[in-house]
A and B are shown apart, each in its own frame.
Chain A
Amino acid sequence: MIRSSKSWQAVAVASVAGLVLTACGTTDEGGSGSESSGGGGGAACDVKLAFFGPETGPAAGLGKPIIQGAQLALDEYNADAECAIEMINYDSQGSPDEAPALATEAAGDESLIGIVGPAFSGESAAAGPIFAEAGLPTISPSATNPALADNGWDTFHRVLGNDATQGPAAATYIADTLSSKATFVIDDASEYGAGLAEEVTNGLGDVVVDTDTIQAGDTDFSATAQKVSASKADTVFFGGYYAEATILVSQLKDAGFDGTFVAADGVKDPAFLDAGNDAEGSVLTCPCIPNTDPNVAEFAEAYEAEFGEPAGTYAAEAYDAANVFLDGIAEGIDNREEMLEFVNGYDEAGVTKQVAFDEKGEPSEVHVYSYKVEGGEIVPEGEIS
């Protein structure tokens, strides 16, 4: 133990010394560096970015496109940079329990100056205070719980609209497009799912006939399904993730529910299609931009060429988030303090939107889109307005 803590101190001292030296170096070159947009002479070296979120675990399906989207941005940057920037994956498995320890580990690595993530709302809440204290800027491509921005963490940013915008958009869709007379709202008691369900319930008002809460990890939802069919609801909204949604939608249909199943971005994953015919006709809302949008076409093509699969949910958002940091690194920023300042003042066109943040770290521009399961595929319908 003593030995390891000593070597740890040595590493810390060395990295701090390295930082001081490189920081001195960049002040001279700062002027010329800000003009070059690629990895020109002024770009910072010996700095790292990180992904924070599920690489393995039950929600790994949602993590993968995020990792790959950020990786694509890095690869493009590294292609013509003089020193390559490395991305580390902090694999939280999407769990709030794992997050604090990992966040502390990340905060201790001084060469790490930007985090793409945390991916989920629960882990964001758990890791946020640690990043805020370390002054380590984070840009989440996917955490949508509204309360996250209200903690006063100046390091927190996200490039997509929160559930306070997604929830009402889902409510608008249910009320206007589906003309629902009776909606049953179910949530999974998670930070994300319960928050979203509350927004939808508030947005729909009297249309909500009843609500129920399930437990993540359960597989038998007979009682819930019975409640739904007894309530004669024509629409079910589910706030939660695809693992439960897949089973839930099957059991709802088996119990005689023949209305529309509506869920949000946590369900927008190919694994939801496992439910087969029962998933057909389901509507998924998402603040993520469809691949068919002309703005992301170029990105979507590059992504498919690199990874051999279409860009998944939040890949484009992750690409934008990584690019904010990479633009900063290209300008020669090599420490957290300047990076944070840079991110706060950022205002450039990304592939998903004009990327800029307000003082709470929320994006200044928000769009929510609807998708529909048709013929065994998740097909974009358009923006919900």
Chain B
Amino acid sequence: MDFDFFFNNLPQLTITGLAFGAIYALIALGYTMVYGVLQLINFAHSEVFMYGTFATLWTVWALTGSGGASGLQLVGILLLALVMSMLSSALIALVLERVAYRPLIKKNAPRLIALISAIGASFVLAELMGLRDRVTGWVGLDDDLDRYVGGARINASMSGIVNMPNVEIAGISIKSVDLLVIAAALAMMVVVDQFVRRSKLGRGIRATAQDQETAALMGVNPTRTIQMTFLIGGLMAGVAAFLYMLKIEVTKFDVGFLLGVKAFAAAVLGGIGNLRGALLGGLLLGVAENWGAALIGTEWRHVVAFVLLVVILLFRPTGLLGESLGKARA
């Protein structure tokens, strides 16, 4: 136990933990919303995130020439990358809903079947990205797209394109990208929270979550509502993917797996089905892991995260904010 180091560097450890936690939270949103409406754990959501990271990477690659970009041009490229990331993730989420879930839900299949379908879809999507050189090879495009599809199973990196300076706050050096990630994630959470609370569509989502049949009788179109839920989850995963690429700069076809598991844990920690719970769970998990890594050793960070999850669930089986589970879902 390295208490000296821990207490001397507590602010930095907390900020970097919050930054990663914010990314968990944004991904956790997708898990929690779909669960709220469908009581289904969408295990393919990690792949929705992964496609967003590649959309960001490819947009940045395509638009920055060999000389790189700077100033306003770079900001423009990044904004476009954010939009592309959100659109790609949303598209994947909608396709998932249409192909992997809707046919099952229509036939009233047990939830377990949908869960297996989700796991299957997750593998298909991940391997499709991991074998993208072969896929493009079939249509004879692999040479033209070599930069994008080559090295399909190793890391792809946009390192060195975005260089954000460190800032000094009260004598502590903090990475500005971490602050940006936290701020952006919080802003997105507020937007989604308000949207679900105040808009007509949001009311529909909440109504469907409480009782799908009654909601349908009141004129809420369940299919459309479920679609909206997937859409919002996908858009948020796209934001998470963009922020992840700003911070880590490197992605790979299987990057979604670990992050997906963590984000799912964050959703459960906060109380699955509860939007604010996802935020709280994500931030808490991120900070706890980072503190654990600093105190005990980095190899223990995943252990710390899941021990925390188990301990909290022992005392609060429905998660931190999970009291309302079954009542005001989503």
A-B interaction: yes
A interface residues, Cβ below 8 angstroms from B: 56-58, 60-61, 189, 212-215, 217-224, 226-227, 230, 243, 246-247, 250, 254-256, 271, 274-278
- By beta carbon, the residue of chain A nearest B299 is A213
Complex partner residue of B20 from A212, A217, A222, A275, CB under 8 angstroms: A222
A222–B290 contact, CB under 8 A? yes
Beta-carbon contact of B258 and A218 below 8 Å: yes
Q: Which residues of A contact B5 (CB under 8 A)?
A: 227, 230
Say what secondary structure dominates the interface of chain B.
helix
Contact present for B154 and A58 (CB under 8 Å): yes
Asked if A56 and B155 sit within 8 Å, CB to CB, the answer is: no
* Bound Cα distance A255, B19 (Å): 14
Which of A56, A221, A271 is in CB contact (< 8 Å) with B298?
Answer: A221
Are B298 and A223 closer than 8 Å at their CB atoms?
yes
- Complex: chain B residue closest to A61, CB-CB: B154
Contacts of B249 in A (CB 8 A): 247, 250
* A58 contacts B299, C-beta separation under 8 Å: no
Inter-chain pairs besides A215-B301, A278-B160, 15 sampled, C-beta below 8 Å: A56-B153, A213-B297, A214-B298, A215-B302, A219-B255, A222-B17, A223-B294, A230-B5, A230-B9, A246-B155, A250-B249, A250-B250, A256-B173, A274-B157, A277-B160
Which residues of B from 4 to 24 have beta carbons under 8 Å from A? 5, 8-9, 12-13, 16-17, 19-20
Contact (A278, B159) CB under 8 Å given A219-B255, A247-B250: yes
CB distance A223 to B159 under 8 Å?
Answer: no
30 cross-chain CB contacts under 8 A? A56-B153, A60-B153, A60-B154, A61-B151, A61-B154, A213-B298, A217-B258, A219-B255, A220-B20, A222-B16, A222-B19, A223-B13, A223-B16, A226-B9, A230-B9, A243-B154, A246-B155, A246-B250, A247-B248, A250-B249, A254-B166, A254-B175, A256-B173, A271-B151, A271-B154, A271-B155, A275-B157, A275-B159, A277-B160, A278-B160
Contact A226 B160 (CB under 8 A): no
Once bound together, how far apart are the Cα atoms of A336 and B160, in whole Å? 51
On chain A, the residues within 8 Å of B159 by CB distance are 246, 250, 274-276, 278
Which one of A219, A277, A278 has the greatest number of beta carbons of chain B within 10 Å? Answer: A219
Kindly provide the distance from the CB of A378 to the nearest chain B CB, expressed in whole angstroms.
16
- Which residues on A sit within 8 Å (CB–CB) of B153? 56-58, 60
B residues near A227, Cβ cutoff 8 Å: 5, 294
Give the size category of B's interface with A. Answer: 20 to 34
Q: Smallest distance from the beta carbon of B57 to chain A beta carbons, Å?
A: 12
Known: A217-B258, A219-B255, A223-B294. A256 touches B166 (CB 8 A): yes
B293: CB under 8 A from chain A? yes
Name the distance in Å between B137's Cβ and chain A's nearest Cβ.
14
Q: A-B pairs with the 9 shortest C-beta distances?
A: A276-B160, A222-B16, A223-B293, A274-B157, A213-B299, A223-B294, A276-B159, A224-B298, A219-B248
Asked whether B160 lies within 8 Å of A212 as measured between CB atoms, the reply is no
The answer for the CA separation of A361 and B12 in the assembled complex, in Å, is 49
Minimum C-beta distance from B312 to chain A (A): 21
Q: Which residue of A lies closest to B19 (CB)?
A: A222
Shortest distance between the CB of B180 and any CB in chain A (Å): 13
- Shortest A238–chain B CB gap in Å is 12
